[in-house]
Amino acid sequence: MKNLKIAIQKSGRLNEKSVQLLKNCGLNFENYKSSLITTVGNFPLEILFLRDDDIPGYVAQGIADLGIVGENVIDETQAQVEYVQRLGFGKCNLKLAIPKDSDIQDLKDLNGKAIATSYPVILQQFLDEYKIKAEIREISGSVEISPGLGLADAICDIVSTGGTLKSNGLKPFADVRSSEAILVGNKNLLGNPILTELLQRIQSVLLAKE
């Protein structure tokens, strides 16, 4: 049977815990250095190290069979993937944040303002829900510096420890949604025996942690 491919985050909040989960499943592999693909020695699996934003699309297209990625990224890309297992790590919140000295006090104060984010789809849904008309400025990274540069009045980004907000002079203002790491799979993968075996191991690791 042909190896399955699982995509995990190359660097960022989910990388280390994704690697740790797979190692705790008894899989032997080298952590990537320059090669962005590695083969597991004792299990029919290859690991691809990708940007998290690309993972849902790759899984939906079948370029990767499985992926470990934040729920927020799955929803943002609107990729058609199956939720295989919630993983209980990478918990965070997508929040609106504003400069510490901002005069924005209420959601309605966002009307007419510019908000920088890497999550324009989710943010637009949120703004529509609260009937707010604001300008969304899509930025692919380092969103937290945009208010300081005069590019935006507020941001909407992932907050975990809150350290990034703080060190950029921002404060949380409103919760948009929560998120955690999810194991997703391609639709055609259900019933695959390699996935069944991997999932059993993952579930044992998660149970042992409880």
Q: Which of 1, 5, 82 is nearest to 50 (CA)?
A: 5
Is residue 75 a contact point for Zn ion (CB under 5 A)? Answer: no
- Count other Cβ atoms within 10 Å, centred on residue 113: 16
Please choose, out of 26-34, 93-101, 151-159, 186-194, the segment that lies near ligand PRP by the rule CB under 6 A.
151-159
Is residue 148 a contact point for ligand PRP (CB under 6 A)? Answer: no
Q: Which of 55, 157, 170, 186 binds ligand PRP (CB under 6 A)?
A: 157
Spatial separation of the C-alpha atoms in residues 89 and 21, rounded to whole Å: 10
Closest approach, Cβ 39 to ligand PRP, in A, equals 26
- Count other Cβ atoms within 10 Å, centred on residue 132: 16
Please choose, out of 156-164, 177-185, 190-198, 200-208, the segment that lies near ligand PRP by the rule CB under 6 A.
156-164
Element (H, E) at 207: helix 193-209
Element (H, E) at 114: strand 114-117
Is residue 76 a contact point for ligand PRP (CB under 6 A)? Answer: no
C-alpha distance from residue 99 to each of 144, 163, 168, 171, 178 (Å): 10, 14, 8, 6, 22
Q: What is the Cα 91 distance to its own chain's centre? A: 10
Closest approach, Cβ 44 to ligand PRP, in A, equals 29
Interface map 38-67 toward ligand PRP (x if CB under 6 A)? --------------x---------------
Please choose, out of 19-27, 35-43, 52-60, 160-168, the segment that lies near Zn ion by the rule CB under 5 A.
52-60
Please choose, out of 42-50, 93-101, 157-165, 173-181, the segment that lies near ligand PRP by the rule CB under 6 A.
157-165
Spatial separation of the C-alpha atoms in residues 47 and 107, rounded to whole Å: 42
